[in-house]
Structure 1
Amino acid sequence: MTEQLWSPAKVADVLIRAEDSGVAQTSILAEWDGLDLAAAYEAQDIALQMRISRGERVTGVKLGVTSKAKQRQVGVDSPSTAWLTDAMILPIGEPVPREKMIHARAEPEIAFVMGRRLEGPGVSAATALAAVDHVVGAIEIIDSRFSGYKFSMMDAVADNNSSGRYVTGPISVRPDSLDLGLEACLLEVDGEIVDSATGAAVHGHPAEALAFAANTLAERGLAIEPGWVILTGGMTDAVPVRPGARIAAHFTHLGTVNVSGG
């Protein structure tokens, strides 16, 4: 395709259609070299307005590529942000709707539920943590809209950081009652521990990821609102959600979060 056929609005439309239809899209950057990060975020925000116009409600923000290993893998040196809506909430006990997804993969995360508005610039980790009401364990089900699960950083940002579904655990903890950098998680798949990590894997500390989100959103004139859920990024590599799979994230203080493959 020629560059003239592409724009952030076109990117948003193509990716929303891919999500709705379950038909994967090839890399947009491979077809349009105008897809830089600014254009990718513009496409992401346009897609959010499309979601809102069809009745979805913003419930929070998700971070991507918060680990150094993932940043090296995709050739970047900082995380990215994207949006959560109520259509992405997976109620506890319900299976992952694999039939509605293209590349369903699960990753454990530490999530913040905000107590007050957090607005950058200049937000520090301490300031960010002071705005949190409570912390919960979570599992995010990511779902890239790109065929073969192959995409650039710009593709991923435009694709809302591969958003899919998310479920938060039943145990909530005050953020000042535990060391989130040391909070550990064991990832279990079908009864076998396949990976482990601590909160330090998330941008050095989950509060640093939250501060990054607030400061990055401020560059677009946006802020983190009270009541929002902030998924701070995958603690481990994501694992495929296969039919009938039983996946559990066991946190030291945040309890266990379970999902199953439908």
Structure 2
Amino acid sequence: MPRIEEWAGRLLQAEETRMPIEPLTAAWPEIDIPTAYQIQLKVIERKCARGQRVVGMKIGLTSRAMQQMLGVYEPDYGHILDTMVLLEGEPVRLSRLIQPKVEAEIAFVLRERLTGPGVTVADVLRATAGVMPALEIIDSRIRDWKIKIQDTIADNASSAAIILGGTLMPVEGLDLRLLGLVLEKDGEVFATGAGAAVLGHPAAAVAWLANAVARYGLSLEPGMVVLSGSFTQAVAVSPGSVIRASFDRLGTVTAKFIGA
């Protein structure tokens, strides 16, 4: 469909030039969610044709507040490519981003395939090799974050990069609902949260994802990293910002942002 190709190209160009574009929903008011996912998949397909690889997936809009803000009643998802995975300790260059924010999340590393429909929390926990503390850097190729659900879906769920902490923790013995988080910006507490903020249980978000992608004949594959959704609101960053997420039992993960 020419319009899908056109918008995929516009989003890619916006990312490459760091010049955001108007919302898709402003220029194409009738665009629906399935079409937005087709645009997302076209963008990912083009990136993979250039040699990038899909290494995981991310889940967004897991909080009720965010869903209500965008007028939707389920999360959305995007793809994680190998070029999006940054090393902890390596400064994050804002010059590669447009209008970034940071979210603190639990990352699931899968050892078994998850194939919907009908995937449950128990299935997710059984298929998980372990969980890690993670930061997701979200960004929007849409000007001023003026997004509706179709805009963020087409834009790969507003994802830009991820940073994983250094510890892989088995899920046995962990109640992820009760797992606490302290999110700090420049040494001061920005927000606190608990795993229950993510659809009641972070593994419930992963189960939702497995069932959602099954509509397209896809599965979550062994070795994939799945970001389960933010515990708190996102924090904006600027040159010199240091973001630190400290998770009970899981440890910490930190990102420092520089301008150049």
Q: Report the TM-score when normalising by structure 2.
A: 0.97
Is the aligned partner of 1:183 residue 2:179?
yes
Q: CA deviation at 1:177?
A: 2.3
Is the aligned partner of 1:206 residue 2:202?
yes
Amino acid at match of 1:232: S
53, 59, 76: which is aligned to 2:49? 53
| 1:21 aligned partner | 17
| 2:153 aligned partner | 157
Q: How many residues align?
A: 258
111, 115, 126: which is aligned to 1:119? 115
Q: CA deviation at 1:123?
A: 0.6
141, 149, 167: which is aligned to 1:171? 167
1:32-47 equivalences under 5 Å are 32-47=28-43
Q: Distance in 2 between matches of 1:129 and 1:81?
A: 20
Q: Secondary structure at the match of 1:62?
A: strand
Amino acid at match of 2:206: L
Is the aligned partner of 1:31 residue 2:27?
yes
Q: Distance in 1 between matches of 2:221 and 2:15?
A: 26
Amino acid at match of 1:41: Y
Q: CA deviation at 1:96?
A: 1.5
Q: Secondary structure at the match of 1:83?
A: strand
211, 214, 217: which is aligned to 2:213? 217
Q: CA deviation at 1:213?
A: 0.3
Q: CA deviation at 1:44?
A: 0.7
1:87-98 equivalences under 5 Å are 87-98=83-94
Q: Distance in 2 between matches of 1:172 and 1:186?
A: 19
RMSD value over aligned CA atoms? 1.1
Q: CA deviation at 1:194?
A: 0.9
Q: Distance in 1 between matches of 2:202 and 2:3?
A: 34
Q: Distance in 1 between matches of 2:257 and 2:237?
A: 6
Gaps of 5+ in 1: none
Q: Distance in 2 between matches of 1:242 and 1:33?
A: 33
Q: Distance in 2 between matches of 1:9 and 1:202?
A: 33
Gaps of 5+ in 2: none
Q: Report the TM-score when normalising by structure 1.
A: 0.96
Q: CA deviation at 1:33?
A: 2.1
